[in-house]
Amino acid sequence: MRITKEQLKQIIKEEFQSFAEEQELREAEGETPQQAAERLKSMPPHRLSSVMMDFEDMAAGDTSLQQYYPHVKDLAAFAREVLSLMGNEV
C-alpha cells in the first residue's frame, strides 16, 4: 500500500492531536495568559522547552500558531505576557 504525502500529513496530524488530548496539551478555548502559563508549568521539561520556543517566536511576531489561539487579538502581546508569567522576559 502506498501512502501519499497528503495522507501522511493527515495521519501525523491525527496522531499528534490524539497525543495532545491524552497529555492535556491542548489550549483551552478562550485561555487567558495566566491559564496558559499554568498549563505550561505543568508540562514535562522535555516538552516545555519546545513550547517556550514557540511562545518566544510568537512574542517576536510569528503568527504561524494563531490557529491555536483564535480568541487572541494580539498574539505577540499574549505570548509576551505568558513568558513574563513564566519568568522569561523577551
The domain limits of the chain are 32-90
* pLDDT of amino acid 24: 53
What pTM value is reported for the model?
A: 0.68
* pLDDT of amino acid 22: 55
Calculate the alpha carbon distances from 45 to 3, 7, 14, 40 in Å: 34, 31, 24, 10
Measured at the alpha carbon of residue 68, what is the angle toward residues 52 and 31, in degrees to the nearest 5?
Answer: 80
Each residue's pLDDT, cut to its tens digit, for the chain (90 residues) gives 898 999 988 988 888 776 665 555 556 678 999 999 998 998 888 888 889 999 999 999 999 988 888 899 999 999 999 999 999 865
* pLDDT of amino acid 27: 63
* pLDDT of amino acid 90: 59
Instruction: Please report where in the chains the cell 501512502 appears, as a residue.
Output: 3
* pLDDT of amino acid 32: 93
